[in-house]
Structure 1
Amino acid sequence: MRRRLVALPVTVVVGVLVAGPAAAQVPTTPVPPPRNPGAPPASAPAQVQPLGRAIGDAGTGLAVVRLLPNSAPTKSIIPGAADKLPRQSAVEVGFGLASAQANSEAYLAFERSIAQSSPGGIALQGASPQTPGALAQTAPPNNAQPRSGGVNPPSTPLNTLVKVGALNGRVQAQWSDTLGPCVDTIADSSTELASLSALNAIPTLPSTRDLTGVFDAPNLDPAADQSIIDGLKSLTGGLNTLGGVLGGAGSNTGSLLSLPNTMAARSVVKLVDIPGSKNKAVQSTSTLQVSSVKLLGGTPFEISVNVVSQPTLVVTSTGDKATSTVQYTAPVVDVVQGGKSLGRLDAANPRLDIPIGVPLPTGAALPGLEKLPVIGNLLANGQGVQDALGNGLKKLDLGVLRLSVAGLNQKTEESTQPFKGYQLGATARLLDLQVLPTDALGLPNLPSALAQVSLGEQVARAFAPAGGVVCGTGTAAPAAPPAATPQNRGPALAYTNAAYQSVPIFWAGTAMLLLGVVIVAALPRRPRTVSPRRAG
């Protein structure tokens, strides 16, 4: 069962790394304190110990859907910390998650190397239950061969948010009993996702088409408000389906975001050579492979997001600030609608807004087109928006589809715990798709973002001791006393100096007491005499 252990839900691991990639230690089982303050320390290992000390992790999520991002307060057991932490999303659903972890300081031996591939996970206001179907491998003992497997997720009530096809995973965790992390690759995890469709509806928007008495745009007069209400009534579906464009209403069905082709994620933690040194550096790598993404696929407004350059995040720690590096290959994305380019996203131009508008009743301008909204540069009949506006069409933008890439964040820190060295971490995303309301969408209590889909969330962190990771074997610790015979085997006692020095003292005292009892019982009893004075 140990090989199937999942130390933490992958969504929690990725979330922790995103929140603080330069934190001091990978989340593992904490060291239990002694029951009594004066009790001896924890057991000391008796076998030869490796000299290498290294901490690193990489996490990659193929797709994460967030509803009402930054709306839920973050809970903390530390008084006053909740007000200082960033706010959580109301709901987060992730699919195609891969993580690799290495931690020479882990209390439990089999947590020193962990590779996990998970079909998905869910978090409700920051709390994440563990999901079934995860593929995991831990070390030690070392695993010469990787594990692989697949899962075809069944239909669930969450299909309105995210629906995925078959997922395949591969994991391998390695660790040497004598050299510790000085192996070929410490942890390696990969996940492939066959297909994905996200947000067939937007649950944070109303499903009804009649918003009389609810709609009240702050910058419009009552006559303009009524014109928009009448325009919404004429649409095929409610705002939650973008007026009937998304699946679930009318003949025009589709998803806000879909992946027609395979998307792959890989996370690797290993040691690499340091030029001019016999020691090693800790390197964590997160890579993604995706060719294209469809927005509003299968609808008249379909938008192709073509990934020209694949993103790669590599974090390397040598233990020295001057030579430790964060290398990020930012993605290059072309956005095309109706055969025409809407723009190119890269590190220099990381954002593109696509308007979502509602046609206003104007009499006989373009009959029939008022049943669907206006998205991007196209009408439902394929005609360009600019030409339609010149022919008398009037529209009002109620929302925006915002695309953004190349959001690299990094943190660095010189640390002395659990060892002196240098740690650094970074996070990035391939593509963020946000549904944002405009000021003209006069609905009460709307958040700043209605929904968010993130493709290719990448996290990497590395922490090496000063001078690099030493590959070698230390001296042997004092051997433990021989175990008791099977016939008299009792409960195991922790290997500490004070504990094992008390064992011979206890048994010697017991033997002397028994010997004294035997001697007293074996001595002849002298007859009891009666004093003559008492007898008289």
Structure 2
Amino acid sequence: MSVALLVLCAGPVGAQPTTPVPSPANPSAPPPSAPIGPQPLGHAVGDAGTGLAVIRIAPNSQPTESIIPGAEDKLPKQAAVELGFGLASAQANSEAYLSYEKAVAQAAPGGIAVQGSSPQAPGSLAQTAPPNNTEPRGGGINPPSTPLDTLLKVGVLNGRVHAQWSDTLGPCVDTIADASTELASLSALNAIPTLPSAQDLSGVFDAPNLDAAGDKALIEGLKELGGPLSTLGGVLGGPGSTGSGSLLSLPNTLSARSVVKLVDIPGSKNKAVQSTSTLQVAAVKLLAGTPFEITVKVVSQPTLQVTSTGDKATSTVAYTAPVLEVTQGGKSLGRLDAANPKLDIPVGIPLPGADALPGLKDLPIIGGVLGDGSPLADAVSDGLKKLDLGVLRLSVAGLTQKGEQATTPFKGYQLGASARMLDLQVLPTDALGLPNLPSALAQISLGEQVARAYAPTGGVVCGTATQQPQEPPAPAPQGKAPPQLAYTNAAYHSVPIFWTGTALLLLGVIMVAALPARRRTR
């Protein structure tokens, strides 16, 4: 909790929703303000968000809170802690209550949510419109060092944001909002906090498929590893480990971009709202720098694009699914794509009696190699027996989309979709005899993408209202007019007489000065 408190004070979060419209105390009261001057005719709402990396500790373990009674039981559970880095968000909202929130582009170095609550903190690049911005804004957004560096470390992080809005045409500009982030390096999960950080698990470990003697021998085997289970037996570089690896790392540049703009509708003069999320990454390393290093090569880059024309029949979701090649030690472990969305890599330790086999060190067995890099298949043929305590599950998250007709704040059709390029989950097996373990120990989502678009029926109209808004009529007088007061003294007459005499005197002086003087004749 102390670690979470420190990060809550230091870690910025992604873009927040626009300010809600406050309801008046009196429902029949007039609006607080009225627009001045020509107003654009177009209505458009859309947003796109891309996260380079999102870490979830104990996912699907906490209930989701809701202000609607009884909704907590129907909503899916959320993670205890979510930590994201490299967030790019682009938003367009013609119905925003505050004028400068009609177009928002934001690039944030990271964000955190604890049981669904995410505070807003400084440290990100942002640009809003109106007024319109002719040039984008860019710069470094490197996050400070935090106590959660054992979970995730990032290198140089740069961002670029651009928000545009026309005072007369509204969203009918080249690009409404454009945000991008670029990350030079990333290492995530140097430790797994949901696993024990002590190597001596006497009295705690109880494997259901082993007897008491087997449990005791396995506990002694865990003591011989180079680190506790929280570091996968010394493979990761967390506290108490002799290793220096990370569960996931990016050796090359990773970039994310989110764009919201209007596009042409075939056969119509109106426009459609289009939100696009793109991701660029070359390769991902698992357990880099260790004998178990696994390379995930990105063959096809993912792109998510949502277009709303205002009509269900012509609104579309276009998604380019990623294609990933997984190799270890030069040998293929499998291919991840839409047809094969999951791949499990076992994590185990040798059972008692295998100490004499070559290739066994003070490290576990991950994938198809031993601690010295030798093939696992050869050791199995020589009589090696192992027990899988966990699984590294790689998966490409399938496309999830939802659309519906809407009437508020305008009549139209809204469409949204989400996807993830790569999910890495650390799952316990039944052989991991530890109490109170969640269904998933940790989860890293690489390339999380969200896009939504909402356009009025028939499309977005690009134009300017010619009729000026009418001023409200003057309020009717209340009550009776006050009666005329009576004259009570002579001052009511003396003051006008005084000023009239003064004016006549001044006029006489001017006339005397203007007339020529006559000489006296003798």
Please state if 1:179 is matched with 2:169.
yes
Query: What is the correspondence of 1:372-391 to structure 2 with a 5 Å cutoff?
Result: 372-391=363-382
Deviations 1:434-486 (A, max 9, x none): 00000000000111000000000000011111111111111233365xxxxxx
Please state if 1:118 is matched with 2:108.
yes
The aligned counterpart of 2:74 is 84
Find the aligned partners of 1:268 and 1:295 in 2 and give their Cα distance: 30
**Given the alignment, which residue of 483, 486, 501 partners 2:475?**
501
Aligned residues: 481
3-state DSSP of counterpart to 2:72: coil
Find the aligned partners of 2:169 and 2:436 in 1 and give their Cα distance: 58
Query: What is the correspondence of 1:2-21 to structure 2 with a 5 Å cutoff?
Result: 10-11=13-14, 13=16
Contact 2:236 2:246 in 1 (8 A): yes
TM-score for the superposition, normalised by structure 2 = 0.88
Find the aligned partners of 1:91 and 1:419 in 2 and give their Cα distance: 36
The aligned counterpart of 1:198 is 188
Q: What amino acid maps onto 1:167 in structure 2?
A: L
The aligned counterpart of 1:151 is 141
Deviations 1:322-360 (A, max 9, x none): 111100000000011101110110111011000000112
Deviations 1:270-301 (A, max 9, x none): 00001111111100000000001110001111
Q: What amino acid maps onto 1:501 in structure 2?
A: P
The aligned counterpart of 2:425 is 434
Find the aligned partners of 1:93 and 1:179 in 2 and give their Cα distance: 39
Q: What amino acid maps onto 1:133 in structure 2?
A: G
Cα 1:376–1:36 change in 2 (3 A) is same
3-state DSSP of counterpart to 1:408: strand
Please state if 1:294 is matched with 2:268.
no
Contact 1:407 1:428 in 2 (8 A): yes
Find the aligned partners of 1:362 and 1:72 in 2 and give their Cα distance: 41
The aligned counterpart of 1:107 is 97
3-state DSSP of counterpart to 1:224: helix
The aligned counterpart of 1:268 is 259
**Structure 1: unaligned runs, 5 residues or longer:** 1-8, 14-26, 481-496, 525-536
Task: Identify which range, 338-347 or 386-395, moves more after superposition.
Answer: 386-395
Find the aligned partners of 1:37 and 1:271 in 2 and give their Cα distance: 35
Please state if 1:238 is matched with 2:212.
no
**Given the alignment, which residue of 398, 412, 432 partners 2:403?**
412
3-state DSSP of counterpart to 1:69: coil
The aligned counterpart of 1:353 is 344
Find the aligned partners of 1:347 and 1:522 in 2 and give their Cα distance: 101
Please state if 1:57 is matched with 2:47.
yes
Kindly state the Cα deviation for residue 317 of structure 1 after the two structures are TM-superposed: 0.6
Please state if 1:325 is matched with 2:299.
no
Find the aligned partners of 1:355 and 1:100 in 2 and give their Cα distance: 39
Find the aligned partners of 2:276 and 2:365 in 1 and give their Cα distance: 41
Find the aligned partners of 1:251 and 1:38 in 2 and give their Cα distance: 70
The aligned counterpart of 1:28 is 18
Find the aligned partners of 1:273 and 1:518 in 2 and give their Cα distance: 75
Contact 2:19 2:97 in 1 (8 A): yes
Query: What is the correspondence of 1:463-482 to structure 2 with a 5 Å cutoff?
Result: 463-478=454-469
The aligned counterpart of 1:457 is 448
3-state DSSP of counterpart to 1:387: helix
Q: What amino acid maps onto 1:419 in structure 2?
A: F
Find the aligned partners of 2:188 and 2:373 in 1 and give their Cα distance: 24
Kindly state the Cα deviation for residue 126 of structure 1 after the two structures are TM-superposed: 0.6
Q: What amino acid maps onto 2:395 in structure 1?
A: S
Find the aligned partners of 1:516 and 1:195 in 2 and give their Cα distance: 85
Q: What amino acid maps onto 1:281 in structure 2?
A: A
The aligned counterpart of 2:250 is 259
**Structure 2: unaligned runs, 5 residues or longer:** 1-11, 493-522
Contact 2:397 2:423 in 1 (8 A): no
Find the aligned partners of 1:213 and 1:143 in 2 and give their Cα distance: 64
Kindly state the Cα deviation for residue 106 of structure 1 after the two structures are TM-superposed: 0.9
Kindly state the Cα deviation for residue 152 of structure 1 after the two structures are TM-superposed: 2.6
- What CA RMSD, in Å, does the superposition of the two structures yield over aligned residues? 2.1
Deviations 1:209-232 (A, max 9, x none): 111110112233222222321221
Deviations 1:352-379 (A, max 9, x none): 0000001122154325724110000011
The aligned counterpart of 2:124 is 134
Contact 2:13 2:119 in 1 (8 A): no
Find the aligned partners of 2:486 and 2:336 in 1 and give their Cα distance: 93
Q: What amino acid maps onto 1:187 in structure 2?
A: A
3-state DSSP of counterpart to 1:236: coil
